[in-house]
Structure 1
């Protein structure tokens, strides 16, 4: 935390200096962007003053940004357990929301399919009943069946009324289906939002994991380099050579993105005495 506070002091110093420069830049910027007509010499002088101030201003803002990134990295490392626990809980909550929404979607889809199928079947039955009644009436007329004609006519009228009722019922069912489809679209939107939020938090968690793993890698690498330095010293002490160790290239992760090489082993080897090497 002491390092974080030191970095904050440096960052704030850059920001303060940038702010002071900006107070001088602002009126010059206003003149350059304003509507005032200036002769070429005056415009040149103003532009020159502006550039003279803008360069150090941009430099200080750049360094302040670098310090800000360093601070953010160290604060993430210091609080990574709490941060990761928060990310994990948030992801679990969004995943639970998505599961609940998917269950609602399945229920709505099943009901919509049920009503759609029922609407089709009911209307088809009503139409078929009217067709059958008309056919029976025609057959009765053809065969001179007066009683059959009367009965078929009554059935046809009944079928026509039933078809009218079925058509009205079908209209209402389509209104319900439209409403269900709208609700499905709304649920799909919520599902997409839940997935998006989950993905965003997951990405933050992955960046945090990457930062922590980079630091852990560097720590392990330092331990390996120390052991390599000790091995280098042992080889020197017995008069051997370091052919295989000379090939070492170990990447440093995080802020520096450099490499550790055999020169780092050689440098470390000088701190080991015979007693150190014999201490296994």
Structure 2
């Protein structure tokens, strides 16, 4: 926390410096961007003065940005357990929402398929009944069956009425089908949203995990370097060579681009006495 406070104070100082430079730059920028006609010599002076202010302004803003990144990193490391718990809970909630939406989608899809099938079957049945009645009527006429002709005609009229009723019912069913399809589209949108939110939070959590793991890596690497320093020292005391250790390249992870090599082992080895080495 002390380091964060120190970095924050440094960042605020750079931001304050940048603001002071910007205050001086503002009237010059107004002149350069305005419509006022300025003599070439005066214009050159203004540009020169503006440039002399912009260089330290940009430098202060950049230093503040670098410090802000360091502050953010340290705040994440400081609060990583709470942050990760929040990310994990949010991911679980979005995953539960997606599961619930998928169940709703399955239910809607099943009902939609049932209504579509029923609508097709009802219309096919009504059309077939009308066709059968017409066929029976034609056969009765062909064979001179007066009674059969009357019955077939009655059946045809009944089938026509049933077809008209079935057609109206089919129209209503298609309204329901359209509404179900629209509801499915809405559910699909919510599923996609849940998946996007889950993925976004997961990515944020992965970035946090990387930061924490980088810090843990660096801590473990430092501990390994301490052991390496002792090993380097004792090998030297025994008159041995450091051929294997001289191949060491151990990268530092995170905000610094650095690798620990045998030179760091050599530097560290000098701080260990015989007593330090023997106190295993």
Same fold (TM over 0.5): yes
> Residues of 2 paired with 1:272 and 1:191: CA distance?
61
Partner of 1:56: 56
Is 1:228 the equivalent of 2:254? no
Q: 1:183 offset after TM fit, Å?
A: 0.5
CA distance in 2, matches of 1:161, 1:8: 84
Aligned to 1:255: 255
Deviation at 1:277, TM superposition (A): 1.6
> Following the alignment from structure 1 to structure 2, what is the Cα–Cα distance between the partners of residues 40 and 115?
81
Mapped partners of 2:168, 2:158: distance in 1? 15
Deviations 1:136-192 (A, max 9, x none): 000001001011001100110111111111111111111111111111111111111
Any idea what the Cα deviations from partners look like across 1:87-144, whole Å, max 9, x if unmatched?
A: 0000000110111011111111111111111111111111111111100000001001
Q: How far 1:39 sits from its partner (Å)?
A: 3.5
Instruction: Indicate the residue corresponding to 1:138 in structure 2.
Output: 138
Give 1:252 deviation, angstroms: 0.3
Q: How many angstroms does 1:30 deviate by?
A: 2.1
Q: Which runs of 4+ in 1 moved over 4 A?
A: none
2:116 corresponds in structure 1 to 116
CA distance in 1, matches of 2:210, 2:235: 36
SS class of match (1:241) = coil
**How far off its partner does 1:48 sit?**
1.8
- Separation (CA, whole Å) in 2 of partners of 1:54 and 1:11: 18
- Partner of 2:8, secondary structure, is helix
Between the two proteins, the alignment pairs up a number of residues equal to 280
Aligned to 1:107: 107
How far residue 8 of structure 1 moved from its aligned partner, in angstroms, is: 0.5
Matching of residue 157 in structure 1 with residue 157 in structure 2: yes
What's 1:81 paired with? 81
Map Cα deviations across residues 23-57 of structure 1 (whole Å, 9 max, x no partner).
Answer: 11122222222233333333322222221111111
Once the two structures are superposed, the pairs formed by residues 229-248 of structure 1 within 5 Å of their partners are 229-248=229-248
Is the partner of 1:38 in helix, strand or coil?
A: coil
Partner Cα separation in structure 1 for residue 24 and residue 202 of structure 2: 44
- Cα distance, 1:274 vs structure 2: 1.6
Q: 5+ residue gaps in structure 2?
A: none
How large is the Cα RMSD of the aligned pairs?
Answer: 1.0
Q: In the TM superposition, what whole-angstrom CA distance separates every residue of 1:46-78 from its partner, at most 9, and x where no partner exists?
A: 222221111111111110011100000000000
SS of 2:179 mapped into structure 1: helix
3-state DSSP of counterpart to 1:57: helix
Q: Normalising to structure 2: TM-score of the pair? A: 0.98
Structure 1 unaligned runs (5+)?
none
